[in-house]
Structure 1
Amino acid sequence: MSGKQIKLFLVDGTPGGLSTAEITNWTGHVLTAPRSQLAELLRRPEAARTGVYLLLGDDESAIGDVRCYIGEADAVGDRLRQHHREKDFWERVVVITSKDTNLTKSHGRYLESRLIALATQAARSSVENGTAPGAPPLPEADASDMDYFLDQLHIVLPVLGINAFRSRATSLEQIAATDSPIFRLMNARSRVDASAQQIDGEFTVLAGSRIVAEWSATGTAATTMKAYASYRAQHQKLVADGAVSVTDGVGVTTRDIVFSSPSTAGAVSLGRSCNGRVEWVSSEGTFGAWESRGLAP
């Protein structure tokens, strides 16, 4: 995969404040701000353009701890003023427009429909939209342009820390770039047989993996008890939101699940602490050995 140059500009010089993002030779433009800076965002010219927007809010009860609302408007700023009055859950807004102002209402509706579908499929956040509108018919060339537009959003949004649309690599080019074998974690006594892969820099337990149905390990040291409580809470949340289905005393992952590390993935899967770099194994060896490939001894 060829490299990409992304231009980030911190408008007020503050990380996490009003910011813009662009990709060289792409007509799209991304503007993001915390809710506390909505007034500053609305004074910018992008707020008067046709585009799509995301409203994001942290919520421990949501999938991935994030709630996401996706919308479109002829003048994005007018719709954001309405949402500021009517929706309380969001803490950050993302406005997606075009630098050449060539996005039409139909383009916006197409992007909105596709983004809702992608967010639902990725299952990294709770999508707050009450409906999932179908994509409007577009001329073939316009639909191709909008699909390319979405491809670029898949690149720029994660750079801004927005992962609601990230999903498993599907194209041969993406899979080659991932360069990760499938790792397995097995324990016959616990009926665990899980598969995982390093995808786009994230350790991901794959759909269809068998893990423990319940996390019940305990510890005596304060640090151990704290860690176990965290693993137990993660396991319980995955069961509660449907990412893990429990049948006949076995948990089965219903979708790909991203973890912060192979050790956390292993612990949640096994029901005990786990050294993920040792216990996740592929035909090429342990995850730790694969991770260290190419390094001098």
Structure 2
Amino acid sequence: MSSRPQTIKIFLPDGSPTSIKEAEITNRLVKALLFPRNKLQEVAKRDLIHFTGVYFLFGNSEEDAKSIVYIGEGEDCYSRILSHNRSKDFWTHAVVIATKTDEYTKTDGKFLEYYCIEQAQHINRYELDNNTGSRKPSLSESREYDLLDNFETIKVLLATLGYPIFEEKRKSKDKKELFYCQINDANATAELTDEGLLVHKDSICSSKTHGQKDDWAAGLRKKLLEQKVIIQVGNNLVFQSDHIFNSPSTAAVTVLGRRANGWTTWKDKQGRTLDELKRK
């Protein structure tokens, strides 16, 4: 669905581009409602938030190694989010997904929750705050295909609102412009994307971390190890999945275990730096 041109309408109920947003693809039934946590009382006036659907709570970890998401469902999404307002600290924004005419059943919501959790785990862009997975409910074959079609709309709307939770990190296998960080025992490969620098799976980090134990580089590595983005293989630290960093320097710091300027550290096969090729 996302490979063809589409028209997406975004409505700002209070006129602020950083506040509440309603988004929809003009010829689809599914609609998204995004709001900051501090607008929880104001958003209660919107009909959509009280509909049956699936919702996402988004936030960041302290080290910012990977953003966090909680995925849930509810017959009245607002009441469910209110309970999380008391019990979960991490989230700063929420997105509610429902149909414009409140057509989802409880079972539909359960299926979307199940499938969204499954896909989020597979794509592995966000750290899931859900303690357990969701069980797949019993649905007719035709209804399941309807909801899978709805999921494609959900995927596009979330990415449009700034949360590409279901977008593949590497969208094609076409030949890419690759950059390398090969210093001492580090041997990493990456590509520049719309979202930042994507370090490829199987890239090897320097085995040492320089500086103090509480240094930013050590803290970032520790978080990635906890999330199993990086794993210990013998004496090496190896990326076990592709990982997007918001800047080349953050990626270089992780790979080298020390402070580094990523724009001059990452080079192509001809030895030209990222800075030479992309900023001059």
Q: TM-score range by the shorter chain?
A: 0.7 to 0.9
Match of residue 250, structure 1, among 236, 250, 254:
236
Which is further off, 9-18 or 234-243?
Answer: 234-243
Corresponding residue for residue 175 of structure 1: 172
Corresponding residue for residue 2 of structure 1: 4
Corresponding residue for residue 151 of structure 1: 152
Hey, what's the Cα distance between the residues in 2 that align with 1:63 and 1:262? 14
Change (3 A) 1:85 1:274: closer
Hey, what's the Cα distance between the residues in 2 that align with 1:152 and 1:138? 20
Hey, what's the Cα distance between the residues in 1 that align with 2:83 and 2:266? 51
Which is further off, 247-256 or 262-271?
Answer: 262-271
Q: Within 5 Å, which residues of 2 pair with 1:258-277?
A: 258-272=244-258, 273-276=260-263
Q: CA deviation at 1:70?
A: 1.1
Q: Within 5 Å, which residues of 2 pair with 1:54-93?
A: 54-60=56-62, 64=66, 66-93=67-94
Corresponding residue for residue 268 of structure 2: 281
Corresponding residue for residue 33 of structure 1: 35
Q: CA deviation at 1:63?
A: 5.1
User: Residue 207 of structure 2 contacts residue 235 of structure 2 at CA under 8 Å; is this kept in 1?
Assistant: yes
1:135 match: secondary structure: coil
Match of residue 53, structure 1, among 50, 55, 78:
55
Q: CA deviation at 1:8?
A: 1.6
Structure 1 residues 99-158: Cα deviation after superposition (integer angstroms, max 9, x where no partner): 243322222111101111222333333322221012223333322232222222222213
Which is further off, 66-75 or 229-238?
Answer: 229-238
1:215 and 2:201 correspond? no
User: Residue 57 of structure 2 contacts residue 69 of structure 2 at CA under 8 Å; is this kept in 1?
Assistant: yes
Give me the identity figure in percent. Answer: 28
Hey, what's the Cα distance between the residues in 1 that align with 2:267 and 2:137? 45
1:185 and 2:181 correspond? yes
Q: CA deviation at 1:60?
A: 0.7
Match of residue 196, structure 2, among 194, 198, 202:
202
Change (3 A) 1:142 1:58: same
Hey, what's the Cα distance between the residues in 2 that align with 1:62 and 1:138? 38
Q: CA deviation at 1:200?
A: 5.1
2:151 match: secondary structure: helix
Change (3 A) 1:44 1:265: same
Q: CA deviation at 1:217?
A: 5.7
Hey, what's the Cα distance between the residues in 2 that align with 1:19 and 1:100? 18
User: Residue 215 of structure 1 contacts residue 268 of structure 1 at CA under 8 Å; is this kept in 2?
Assistant: no
Change (3 A) 1:186 1:89: closer
2:187 match: secondary structure: strand
**Structure 2, unaligned runs of 5 or more:** none
Which amino acid in structure 2 is aligned with residue 270 of structure 1?
Answer: L
The structure with the greater share of residues assigned to helix is 1
- Structure of higher RCO (CA pairs closer than 8 Å, 6+ residues apart): 2
Change (3 A) 1:104 1:199: farther
Which amino acid in structure 2 is aligned with residue 281 of structure 1?
Answer: D
User: Residue 185 of structure 2 contacts residue 207 of structure 2 at CA under 8 Å; is this kept in 1?
Assistant: no
Q: CA deviation at 1:290?
A: 6.7
Hey, what's the Cα distance between the residues in 2 that align with 1:75 and 1:275? 46
Hey, what's the Cα distance between the residues in 1 that align with 2:221 and 2:194? 23
Hey, what's the Cα distance between the residues in 2 that align with 1:110 and 1:283? 50
The size of the alignment, in residue pairs, is 276
Provide the TM-score with structure 1 as the length reference.
0.79
Change (3 A) 1:18 1:254: same
Q: CA deviation at 1:210?
A: 0.8
Corresponding residue for residue 95 of structure 1: 96
Hey, what's the Cα distance between the residues in 2 that align with 1:210 and 1:33? 39
